């Protein structure tokens, strides 16, 4: 029987959806977790209901979350596969579908087959168009996944309204399945090779080809506007197809990709008339000249962002200057190291509205007039908030950056060696900085200068510039004391202590990312010679919001017991040269209930640990194990038990038969609804 709603209830639903779903946690937690927010009844915020009082409770017996209002309607949102219980006449009931897929690789299911229908569902009282317009406000992929599980009407509305899709593993789902699930998509963000490919652990020509995706989308979605690819193999033929098949194409972002050349880039720049973003970062491409940069339309361009900082091909500087001059909306420009200071000055004069700048090399010798011109051009960039590049920076030019740093929120110095004194002077002007990337060459004193000036810092990355390392626990302690808003840290160092890590965890309880990389494997606390178990235990115990963790140093199984016990929100864990036995890995697999990615290298984890997590892998995006103690029979057993997993063995020694190997050197396990891939090279064996 159709349900009639008054005007207030209609707008109440809109307020509730937008205010609870636009944040990353609220609705998702209530629907999928059934959490009661502490007590049995909770008085919700007036802002969520437009003034009416809303109460929320979780029924532990039925698994339903009940949301009631004094003037509105009651919703009974059913969880799991339990039989529907009668609530009110206007209850909406959800039944989670069995055939699901997480396109985002987030560990949460997302329906693929749009024809399935849950039992006992009532038709939505609102037109689909209304829900579709409301869902536009949701930016989080996970929140949209949660919305699609509420009922069939919401599932359909989410299907037809989603335009941006993230595929965390290109082999987890086929292009056809994605198109069938989201027929109106116009932006695809996709990842290919495992993250350890960045460190040389994945052989060349492993796979992750973009071509099948481009071909399928060219036929089904000619309105595509964006591809954002990471660790994918992108051919010139694919770039040519993009330029010819998508007349509205606007954005191409390639990060850590290979397989293409500057000829392919020329196809994009010459044919994509609406191109607004071209971002090329850390790619392995063939250099065949700089014509791609001069191929942009001479009459008009809608370019907003251009990044070729890591493309070392020669460029036509005159063509670049003309391009910048006619790109009136240009907000981000990152050039490579061959651009000298005079050329940079000419570019800045033509683009005073830049928000993000990646400079070239600061090595050219300038006279005082030229230096004054450069400083003046930099100071005219009043909107500049992000600065990077500095492939080489002579100390004489550091003062020219002082005034520029006053309004910066992001500063990337990861490509340049700055002495402590130079960094100290620079940091004294960076009071608004929120994100900083540096080399550990600055040492502990340099990090102390950061802590003294950058109280608003939210993310810090300290990269190594040599195998010895310069940063220690003193720099880490200084950061914890001076940067109370820090949320993410990547810290390479030569030594560490439990006391420093414990202090760090207590000072920064809101930390979400903690990646500590001690350069010497299996190094203990250098003051007590004890394992670093207590330090990492404190991190997971005190930092309740932690979602990403990388551990190093001497660790026993006790550290992983702490991680499994307290790391309930951890999604990604990276481990190297740590642990004592299978129990360490078992603790994480059984305790970290939100785990999505587990990356392990050179640890004593074997078949017992692998098998113990057999019921977890289908809820994760992937598992990587290299240099461990997994046997081939153990990997085969896993593949037979879980047909929805692709269990791949990588054997770089082509002279040896994989089937005769007793141990597995590299194991890559990931869930999929597309089945075994058909483009695996000879050195990759998919176990069955």
Q: How far apart are CA 202 and CA 35, in angstroms?
A: 41
Q: How far apart are CA 396 and CA 402, in angstroms?
A: 12
- List the one residue out of 435, 438, 447, 505 whose CA is nearest residue 474: 447
Q: What are phi and psi of 630, to 5 degrees?
A: -80, 135
By three-state DSSP, how is residue 598 classified? strand
Could you read off the pLDDT of 629-653 as tens digits, one per residue?
999 999 999 999 999 999 999 987 7
Are 374 and 400 spatial neighbours (Cβ–Cβ below 8 Å)? Answer: yes
Cα distances (Å, whole numbers) of residue 49 to 11, 71, 126, 191, 221: 8, 10, 18, 39, 38
User: What pLDDT score was predicted for residue 460?
Assistant: 99
Lowest-confidence range among 19-28, 30-39, 111-120? 30-39
Could you read off the pLDDT of 213-258 as tens digits, one per residue?
999 999 999 999 999 999 999 999 999 999 999 999 999 999 999 9
User: What pLDDT score was predicted for residue 131?
Assistant: 77
Q: What are phi and psi of 307, to 5 degrees?
A: -135, 110
Could you read off the pLDDT of 416-448 as tens digits, one per residue?
988 899 999 999 999 999 999 999 999 999 999
User: What pLDDT score was predicted for residue 375?
Assistant: 87
- List the one residue out of 29, 26, 5, 6 whose CA is nearest residue 17: 26
Are 570 and 540 spatial neighbours (Cβ–Cβ below 8 Å)? Answer: yes
Q: How far apart are CA 183 and CA 512, in angstroms?
A: 35
User: What pLDDT score was predicted for residue 530?
Assistant: 98
**Residue 69 clears pLDDT 70, i.e. is over it:** no
Would you tell me how many other CB atoms lie within 10 Å of the CB of residue 349?
16
User: What pLDDT score was predicted for residue 656?
Assistant: 58
Are 283 and 256 spatial neighbours (Cβ–Cβ below 8 Å)? Answer: yes
By three-state DSSP, how is residue 228 classified? strand
Q: Which residues fall within 8 angstroms of residue 205, CB to CB, at 6 or more apart?
A: 233, 681
Are 119 and 95 spatial neighbours (Cβ–Cβ below 8 Å)? Answer: yes
Q: Which residues fall within 8 angstroms of residue 416, CB to CB, at 6 or more apart?
A: 390, 391, 392, 393, 439
**Residue 320 clears pLDDT 80, i.e. is over it:** yes
- List the one residue out of 633, 622, 637, 632 whose CA is nearest residue 668: 622
User: What pLDDT score was predicted for residue 178?
Assistant: 97
Are 56 and 65 spatial neighbours (Cβ–Cβ below 8 Å)? Answer: yes
- Report which of residues 18 and 562 the model is more confident about: 562
Q: Which residue blocks in 530-606 are alpha helix, DSSP H?
A: 533-542, 557-566, 582-591
Pairing of β 645-650 and β 622-626: unpaired
**Residue 54 clears pLDDT 60, i.e. is over it:** no
Of the pLDDT bands very low, low, confident and very high (cuts 50, 70, 90), residue 85 is: very low
User: What pLDDT score was predicted for residue 153?
Assistant: 83
User: What pLDDT score was predicted for residue 17?
Assistant: 54
Q: How far apart are CA 325 and CA 341, in angstroms?
A: 18
Rounded mean pLDDT of 71-77?
A: 28
Lowest-confidence range among 21-25, 216-220, 436-440, 582-586? 21-25
What is the token pair recorded at 255?
Answer: 């990060």
- Report which of residues 35 and 7 the model is more confident about: 7
- List the one residue out of 455, 459, 494, 511 whose CA is nearest residue 478: 455
Q: What are phi and psi of 40, to 5 degrees?
A: -70, -30
Could you read off the pLDDT of 469-487 as tens digits, one per residue?
999 999 999 999 999 999 9
Q: How far apart are CA 511 and CA 575, in angstroms?
A: 19
Map out the domains of the chain as residue ranges.
7-162, 163-288, 506-605, 619-688
User: What pLDDT score was predicted for residue 93?
Assistant: 31
The DSSP call for residue 606 is B
Of the pLDDT bands very low, low, confident and very high (cuts 50, 70, 90), residue 662 is: confident
User: What pLDDT score was predicted for residue 299?
Assistant: 82
Model pTM above 0.85: no
Q: Which residue has the tokens 């990152």?
A: 334
- Exposed, middle or buried: residue 37 (CB in 10 Å: 0-12, 13-18, 19+)? middle
User: What pLDDT score was predicted for residue 12?
Assistant: 54
Q: How far apart are CA 465 and CA 637, in angstroms?
A: 43
Would you tell me how many other CB atoms lie within 10 Å of the CB of residue 401?
21
- Report which of residues 368 and 31 the model is more confident about: 368
Task: Give a three-class secondary structure readout of 48-88.
Answer: HHCCCCEEEEEECCCCEEEEEECCCCCEEEECCCCCCCCCC
Q: How far apart are CA 619 and CA 501, in angstroms?
A: 31
CA 477 from chain centre, in angstroms, equals 27
- End-to-end, the C-alpha distance of the chain in Å comes to 50
What is the token pair recorded at 46?
Answer: 């007036």
* Sign for the pseudo-dihedral over CA of 121, 122, 125, 127: positive
Rounded mean pLDDT of 94-105?
A: 39
- Exposed, middle or buried: residue 568 (CB in 10 Å: 0-12, 13-18, 19+)? middle
Mean pLDDT value across the chain: 83
Rounded mean pLDDT of 599-611?
A: 96
Cα distances (Å, whole numbers) of residue 219 to 167, 273, 347, 634: 19, 20, 40, 42
Lowest-confidence range among 45-54, 359-368, 612-621? 45-54
* Sign for the pseudo-dihedral over CA of 633, 638, 644, 648: negative
Q: How far apart are CA 643 and CA 639, in angstroms?
A: 6
Percent of the residues in the chain that have a pLDDT greater than 70, as a whole number: 80
Of the pLDDT bands very low, low, confident and very high (cuts 50, 70, 90), residue 123 is: low
> Buried b / exposed e across 634-654, counting CB within 10 Å, b at 16+?
bbbbbbeebeebbbbbbbeee
User: What pLDDT score was predicted for residue 14?
Assistant: 52
Q: What is the CA radius of gyration of the chain?
A: 27
Q: Do you know the residue count of the chain?
A: 688
Could you read off the pLDDT of 370-395 as tens digits, one per residue?
888 888 898 899 999 999 998 888 88
In what helix (H) or strand (E) does residue 266 lie, and over which residues does it extend? helix 262-271
β-partners of residue 625 are 600, 667
* Sign for the pseudo-dihedral over CA of 53, 59, 60, 65: negative
Cα distances (Å, whole numbers) of residue 400 to 177, 245, 375, 376, 386: 53, 46, 6, 9, 16
Q: How far apart are CA 93 and CA 88, in angstroms?
A: 11
User: What pLDDT score was predicted for residue 41?
Assistant: 24
Are 410 and 438 spatial neighbours (Cβ–Cβ below 8 Å)? Answer: no
Per 3-state DSSP, what percentage of the chain is helix, strand, and coil (rounded to 5)? 35, 20, 45
**Residue 211 clears pLDDT 80, i.e. is over it:** yes
Lowest-confidence range among 102-116, 193-207, 588-602? 102-116
- List the one residue out of 326, 361, 357 whose CA is nearest residue 343: 361
What is the token pair recorded at 391?
Answer: 């492939």
Are 56 and 66 spatial neighbours (Cβ–Cβ below 8 Å)? Answer: yes
Could you read off the pLDDT of 328-373 as tens digits, one per residue?
999 999 999 999 999 999 999 999 999 999 998 888 888 888 888 8
Are 244 and 224 spatial neighbours (Cβ–Cβ below 8 Å)? Answer: no
**Residue 286 clears pLDDT 70, i.e. is over it:** yes
* Sign for the pseudo-dihedral over CA of 221, 225, 231, 235: positive
């Amino acid at each position: 029987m159709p349900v009639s709603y008054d005007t207030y209830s209609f707008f109440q639903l809109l307020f509730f959806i937008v205010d609870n779903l636009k944040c990353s946690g609220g609705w998702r937690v209530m629907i999928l977790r059934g959490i009661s927010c502490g007590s049995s009844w909770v008085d919700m915020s007036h802002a969520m209901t437009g003034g009416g009082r809303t109460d929320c409770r979780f029924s532990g017996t039925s698994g339903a979350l009940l949301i009631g209002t004094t003037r509105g309607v009651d919703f009974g949102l059913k969880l799991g596969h339990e039989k529907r219980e009668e609530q009110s006449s206007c209850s909406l009931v959800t039944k989670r579908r069995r055939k699901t897929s997480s396109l985002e690789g987030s560990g949460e299911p997302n329906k693929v087959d749009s024809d399935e229908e849950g039992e006992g569902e009532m038709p939505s009282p609102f037109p689909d168009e209304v829900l579709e317009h409301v869902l536009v406000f949701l930016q989080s992929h996970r929140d949209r996944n949660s919305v699609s599980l509420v009922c069939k009407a919401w599932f359909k509305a989410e299907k037809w309204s989603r335009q941006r899709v993230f595929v965390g593993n290109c082999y987890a789902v086929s292009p056809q399945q994605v198109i069938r699930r989201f027929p109106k998509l116009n932006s695809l963000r996709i990842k290919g090779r495992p993250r350890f490919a960045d460190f040389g652990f994945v052989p060349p020509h492993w796979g992750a080809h973009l071509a099948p995706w481009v071909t399928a989308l060219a036929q089904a979605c000619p309105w595509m506007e964006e591809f954002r690819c990471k660790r994918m193999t992108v051919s010139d033929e694919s770039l040519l197809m993009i330029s010819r098949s998508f007349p509205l194409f606007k954005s191409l972002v390639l990060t850590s990709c290979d397989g293409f050349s500057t000829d392919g880039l020329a196809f994009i720049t010459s044919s994509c008339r609406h191109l607004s973003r071209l971002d090329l970062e850390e790619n392995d491409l063939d250099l065949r000249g700089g014509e791609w940069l001069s191929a942009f339309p001479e009459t008009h361009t809608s370019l907003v962002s251009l990044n070729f900082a890591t493309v070392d091909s020669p460029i036509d500087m005159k063509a670049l200057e003309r391009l910048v001059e006619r790109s009136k909306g240009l907000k981000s420009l990152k050039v490579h190291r061959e651009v000298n200071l005079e050329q940079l000055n000419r570019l800045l004069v033509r683009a005073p509205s830049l928000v993000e700048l990646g400079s070239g090399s600061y090595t050219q010798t300038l006279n005082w007039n030229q230096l004054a011109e450069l400083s003046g051009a930099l100071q005219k960039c009043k909107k500049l908030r992000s600065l990077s590049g500095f492939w080489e920076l002579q100390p004489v030019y550091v003062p020219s950056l002082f005034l520029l740093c006053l309004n910066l929120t992001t500063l990337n110095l990861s490509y340049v060696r700055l002495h402590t004194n130079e960094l100290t002077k620079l940091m004294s002007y960076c009071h608004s900085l929120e994100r900083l990337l540096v080399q550990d060459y600055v040492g502990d004193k340099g990090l102390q200068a950061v802590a003294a000036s950058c109280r608003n810092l939210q993310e810090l990355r300290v990269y190594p510039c040599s195998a010895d390392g310069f940063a220690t626990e003193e720099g880490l302690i200084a950061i914890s004391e001076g940067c109370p808003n820090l949320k993410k840290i990547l810290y390479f160092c030569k030594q560490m202590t439990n006391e420093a890590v414990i202090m760090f965890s207590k000072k920064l309880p809101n930390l979400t990312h903690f990646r500590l990389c001690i350069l010497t494997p299996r190094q203990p606390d250098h003051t007590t010679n004890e394992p670093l178990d207590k330090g990492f235990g404190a991190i997971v115990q005190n930092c309740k919001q932690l979602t990403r963790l990388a551990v190093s140093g001497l660790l026993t199984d006790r550290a992983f017991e702490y991680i499994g016990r307290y790391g309930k929100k951890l999604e990604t864990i990276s481990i190297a040269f740590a642990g004592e036995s299978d129990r360490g890995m078992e603790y994480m697999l059984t305790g970290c209930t939100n785990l999505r990615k587990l990356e392990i290298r050179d640890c004593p984890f074997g078949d017992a640990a692998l098998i113990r997590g057999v019921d977890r892998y289908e809820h994760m995006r992937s598992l990587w194990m290299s240099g461990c103690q997994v046997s081939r029979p153990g990997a085969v057993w896993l593949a037979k038990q879980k047909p929805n997993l692709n269990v791949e063995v990588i054997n770089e020694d082509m002279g040896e038969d994989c089937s005769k190997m007793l141990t597995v050197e590299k194991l890559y396990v990931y869930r999929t609804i597309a089945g075994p891939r058909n483009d695996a090279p000879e050195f990759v064996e998919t176990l069955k």
